[in-house]
Chain A
Amino acid sequence: MEVNFEQLLQQSNRIKNYIKSDVGELPHATLNWKSNEKKWSPLEVVSHLNRVYEKYLDNFERAISSAPLLSDNQILESQSTLMGRISIYMMKPKGKKRRFKMKTFDFFNPVTEPEKKHETLDLFLKNKETFNDLIKQARAKNLKNIKMPTALGEKVKFYVPECFRFILVHEDRHIVQIAGILEELK
């Protein structure tokens, strides 16, 4: 099957619009609310997503810029790795449920800065722009057999479109988390 970059882009934009309009409009207290000290506030969730981008954006950039251009009439077939399929499956929320509870790596822990609402949200939107640009650049490239590093261990590498998907299902998972926090607060 052909890689569906348009769908990736649309999903990415949906997440961007949610953070920008729905989360961005929340009052200060709601953004920083958490049910107990061990849980994250909505703002901390966004900060976590930023830390993920910090780690991944350069990896995408390197993999995509080194790839040759796709020639006319050439299409990029979907490829996947075993670890990629498992990770995407586990990450993907099912409806409102997040299965396979997991703890994040220390280096992805959010920075807690309740006062820095605008900085955190603006940084997310900036990262999202870069991420979307990378999807658009990738559309024109022949990424066949090109793998990129992940944060899941030195030996775990994903194909580039697969990694886009991984990042997006991970974000979906956290959108569900934010919706859950807001639900709890009601």
Chain B
Amino acid sequence: MNKKSLFDATFGRYIAISEDAYSFLDDHFQLKKYTTKEMIVEGGGLARYFYLVISGVQCIYRLNEKGEKVVLGFSYSGNISGVYDSFLSEKPSELFLEALSPTEMIGITKQGYLELFEQFPEFYKWRTYFIESILFGRMSREVEVMSSTAKERFDAFTQRCPPELLQIPQKYLASYLNMTPETFSRLRALRD
């Protein structure tokens, strides 16, 4: 996936991108590469970029009181990624963002991000859609985690997730689905 098609997929779906806006995006989104297991954002550190993912799988998690990883979500090719609250508030992140496979992303700084809306106000429309989609995603995720069975969560997840996500270590997927790795592999065996 190249830069332009990422811009089209992310913004162009909702708004018309002018030539000037394209060149602004092209100038401000810089290529970033991460190796497997590399930290993109670390707990207690700052999230300096808002990312669009070219390739690879990334995982976002926090540590619970015992220090165990609790996986909150993934991002992969074509997605938005980053730790949005730390990025905007410039406060230390509570979350970790880690590359689970070799990753290429393009990232924009907060200054660039804010300038985008100032120079091209039509992007506010995109921002509304973006915030809405995050809200809806989080709502259905909450329903899923709080009120469905392990099997339902497993089935729903395997149906909606792209194949590249099933390649990552099972413990991450199990944690995301709020089940033990043992339950995850049992359900996986049942399905196959």
Contacts and interface: CB of A to CB of B under 8 A. Distances in A.
B45 A13 contact: yes
Given A7-B67, A9-B44, A136 B92 contact: no
Nearest to B93: A13
Interface residues of A, number: 16
Contacts of B38: 136
Nearest to B42: A9
A140 B42 CA distance: 15
Interface string B95-135: 01000000000000000000000000000000000000000
Main secondary structure of the interface of A (DSSP, over half): helix
The DSSP consensus for interface residues of chain B is loop
A12 B44 contact: yes
B153 to A, nearest CB: 25
A140 B34 CA distance: 13
Contacts of A12: 44
B138 interface: no
A132 B92 CA distance: 15
B151 interface: no
B39 interface: yes
B67 A13 contact: no
Given A136-B39, A139-B37, A140-B37, A6 B96 contact: yes
Nearest to A13: B44
B44 A17 contact: yes
A140 B116 CA distance: 37
Contacts of B78: none
Interface string A29-68: 0000000000000000000000000000000000000000
Most buried by A among B38, B39, B96: B39
B43 A10 contact: yes
A7 B42 CA distance: 10
A4 B44 contact: no
Contacts of B92: 13, 17
A4 B67 contact: yes
A99 interface: no
17 contacts: A4-B63, A6-B42, A6-B67, A9-B39, A9-B43, A9-B44, A10-B42, A10-B63, A13-B42, A13-B44, A13-B45, A13-B92, A14-B44, A132-B42, A136-B38, A136-B39, A139-B37
Interface of B: 37-39, 42-45, 63, 67, 69, 92, 96, 169
The 7 A-B residue pairs with the shortest CB-CB distance, nearest first, are A13-B44, A10-B43, A7-B67, A4-B67, A10-B44, A14-B44, A9-B42
Interface of A: 4, 6-7, 9-14, 16-17, 73, 132, 136, 139-140
Given A6-B42, A6-B67, A12-B44, 4 more contacts: A4-B63, A10-B42, A13-B44, A17-B44
